[in-house]
Structure 1
Amino acid sequence: MGFPHPLLPLLLLLPTPLLARDPASVQSLAAMPEYTSQPPCATGCFYQREGACSNDLVGATLGCAADCISWASNDCYCRTDYQSLATAYLSSCVSKACTKGENKVDIAAATSLYGAYCRKAGYTPPPEPTATGDETAQSVATVYVTVTAIFSLVYFA
């Protein structure tokens, strides 16, 4: 079966343009073909399904999304200063969730997917750490979660 127009195959060779940076556009990482090749343990770090609702976990980690009806905008999801935090979250989550096989591969694939999504959406990746002298600079993000349980115990004698 041939193409409807003889020049159509040449159009397919042109580079894909970057998506327009629309500040109001909502992140759509799950629409990338590479997302479907991620193992379920890794995709569970991007989104959490609850019935008809799918929560944006990366967006929530960054403080960009509250629940399934307010997914993160690309301007928040891919902010240059947030990308290291998102990558650290994904590394930690996938490391804990993907326990079968070589999880380093799953971690690399998940963090690479996030970075590729932001680059395709037109956002600049954070600068690579630079080495000073004989030391190697490392970037580490630590995420702390504080859970406060409030309860009261009433005892009547």
Structure 2
Amino acid sequence: MPPNLQPFFHLTFAILTTIISAATVTLTNLPAYQSQRSCATQCFYSGFSSGGGPDRLANQLDCSVDPIENDCFCRADLQDDADALIQSCVYDLCSRNTIDVSSAVSIYDSYCTAAGFERAVETTSVGGAGGGSSGTGSPTSNGAYQTNPPPPSSTTASSSSSSSNDKSTPFLSTSELVGIIVGVCGFIATSIGVWFSYRMMKNKRAAAHGPPSYMAASASQAQGHHLPMGPVAYKYPLASQNSYHGFR
């Protein structure tokens, strides 16, 4: 560009910027705005402005509504408030339909960006005195603005590492496990000893009372001892026997 035309170019650019910033809002003329459902358009337009346009949203942003100008409607520090108002209103009037919410927010953000208004980026300081990190801002997919969290500090990383180590530690220590095992083994050994003592005591009592009578009789017969026999009863009387053999 020739040097003699540079002042003219800068002057023209400044005039155009002033015209754009002072221009009235034409958001309601966009095809994307007109394709919305009526429940969503009610969050922008109410009809009390003589010049038309998104008078309801402009009034909620405390901007003039006759006329509605871009320099207030799309002001950088008011765009977050506008997004929040649109989200809340469309969410309620459109029966919590998230598609309507994201579409309405996107229409407002796209209009203000095309009009030359950049969103204000705020950083949030995190940490105490002596240093810290700050988050960065970025628009979401539905047009809303959010602050990205800062990267975790070394203190946070160490605390999370210690908590994970605590979770991996067994519930019982080694000494407690050894004590439980020794106790169980002692209980088993005691039970076995009691059972053997009971068996020995039972055998001693049986030996003191002697064997049963039928066992004693069998033992006597085995040693050659015969029990005395009782008197023998004959089938026939003695007199009959003598007569039979010829004796009287």
Asked if 1:131 corresponds to 2:125, the answer is: no
Normalization by structure 1: what TM-score? 0.63
Greater fraction helix: 2
Distance in 1, matches of 2:72 and 2:111, equals 13
Higher relative contact order (CA 8 A, sep 6+): 1
After superposition, residues 34-73 of structure 1 pair within 5 angstroms as 34-49=32-47, 54=52, 56-66=55-65, 70-73=66-69
After superposition, residues 28-39 of structure 1 pair within 5 angstroms as 28-39=26-37
**What is the root-mean-square deviation of aligned Cα atoms in Å?**
2.4
Which residue matches 2:125?
none
Query: SS state of the match for residue 36, structure 2?
Result: coil
CA deviation vs aligned residue, 1:28-66 (integer Å, no higher than 9, x gap): 101111011111000000001359884601111111124
Question: Which amino acid in structure 1 is aligned with residue 93 of structure 2?
Answer: A
Asked if 1:110 corresponds to 2:128, the answer is: no
Structure 2 unaligned blocks of 5 or more: 1-15, 122-136, 138-146, 153-248
Which residue matches 1:137?
none
Aligned-residue identity in percent: 34
Which residue matches 2:114?
120
Distance in 1, matches of 2:88 and 2:94, equals 10
Distance in 2, matches of 1:61 and 1:29, equals 16
Normalization by structure 2: what TM-score? 0.41
Query: SS state of the match for residue 112, structure 1?
Result: helix
Distance in 2, matches of 1:51 and 1:126, equals 28
| Greater Rg by CA | 2
Asked if 1:75 corresponds to 2:71, the answer is: yes
